[in-house]
Amino acid sequence: MELAQLRVFETLADELHFARAADRLGLTQPAVSRQIAALEASLGGKLFDRAKRSQVTLTATGALFLPEARAILRQAERGEALAKRSARGEVGRLEIGYVASAAWGGVAASLVRRFLTRAPKVEVHLQELETPRQIEELAAGRLDLGIFRTRPAYPTALKVQPLQQDTLQIALPDTDPRAAQPELHAADLAGARFILPHFGEEAGFLARLQALGEAGGFAPEIQPPVRDFLTVLTSVAAGLGAGLVPESAGALHLQGVVLRRVADVALNSGLVLGARRADSSPLVRRFLQMAQERPKSGHG
């Protein structure tokens, strides 16, 4: 039993006339007859009584089979439509990781919101993870996409595309005398004790801090690393030191913390969108393509 046979059977059951059924199907009458004969042979019983050459009636078997045939055809149509939507990246599930700073500046939310306006049936699950953990989860296939900080190098199994560049700023306790200055110079930071997240070296923050020290003529004093940027900012608010953080940290308006630019040193860090090179998912491809487009409005 084939779907083509069921379609012919349904059409002939509707028309009860071979010529009209053939016309609707775009087939010849002999082709309709062959399809019906093949279906009857596979079922082992007659579906139509052919009292006249062209006009027919359903047999008891045909009448009983008709609603089942319709159900099979409708289910097949739904399955075909779902498969086509999946192939276009319109349905399914995405596991997306993001670093906290991508949430502060609205990058993660903006990307997902833009994607869902195009594919509202897609289920998206977000996980806040540090950059190294995202890279591990992507490689293991537990994440489909990751929004994380730039690094000097990436595993060959991953591909990344840039999202935005952030200017790094100095986070100071509001009680620090340097916080009264509208902007800083590298030399102003001599003697500061810096707090970095434990992934700072891998993400290049340590190298940027060392460049800051070279420009200012001092060797940065670095305290034991902490868990993440939020812990950096909390430690700064507590007066434990200074931090080098993305400018998006300003969106937190954390009490006791002041952010200042460094005027004479270029300090930048980018956000990228990562995925597995071998991932053939239409959803992932569609998300990556969308992320490369300039948003019409809002933040991105």
- Is the distance from CB of 127 to CB of 263 less than 8 angstroms? no
Q: Could you state, in chain order, the average pLDDT of each consecutive group of 10 residues for the chain (300 residues)?
A: 90 90 92 92 90 79 91 82 68 89 91 93 92 90 93 90 92 95 95 88 80 94 90 95 92 93 91 91 91 63
Question: Which amino acid is present at 69?
Answer: A
Query: What pLDDT does residue 299 have?
Result: 40
- Is the distance from CB of 215 to CB of 265 less than 8 angstroms? yes
Whether this prediction's pTM lies above 0.85 is answered by no
Locate 58 and state its tokens: 């359903």
Q: Distance between CA 169 and CA 245 in Å, rounded?
A: 6
Residue 202, classed as helix, strand or coil, is helix
b/e for 49-63, b at 16 or more Cβ within 10 A?
A: eeeeeeebebeeebe
- Is the distance from CB of 170 to CB of 260 less than 8 angstroms? yes
- Rounded to the nearest 10°, the torsion over CA 247, 249, 252, 256 is -100
Distance, C-alpha 109 to centroid of its chain: 11
Radius of gyration of the chain (CA): 32
- Is the distance from CB of 96 to CB of 288 less than 8 angstroms? no
- Is the distance from CB of 48 to CB of 8 less than 8 angstroms? no
Beta bridge partners of 95: 125
Query: What pLDDT does residue 244 have?
Result: 93
If one counts every other C-beta atom within 10 angstroms of the C-beta of residue 173, the result is 19
> For residue 9, which of 53, 87, 72 has the smallest C-alpha distance?
72
User: What structural domains and CATH numbers belong to the chain?
Assistant: 3-87 (1.10.10.10), 91-165+270-293 (3.40.190.10), 168-260 (3.40.190.10)
**Where are the alpha helices (H) located in the chain, listed in sequence order?**
3-15, 18-25, 29-43, 60-87, 100-104, 107-118, 131-140, 200-203, 205-216, 229-237, 282-292
Query: What pLDDT does residue 61 have?
Result: 92
Strand pairing report for 257-260 and 91-98: unpaired
- Is the distance from CB of 172 to CB of 193 less than 8 angstroms? no
Which sign does the torsion angle of CA 18, 20, 25, 27 carry? positive
- Is the distance from CB of 212 to CB of 267 less than 8 angstroms? yes
Locate 244 and state its tokens: 């080098």
Residue 123, classed as helix, strand or coil, is strand
- Is the distance from CB of 266 to CB of 184 less than 8 angstroms? no
Query: What pLDDT does residue 92 have?
Result: 83
Locate 251 and state its tokens: 């969106």
Q: Distance between CA 174 and CA 233 in Å, rounded?
A: 12
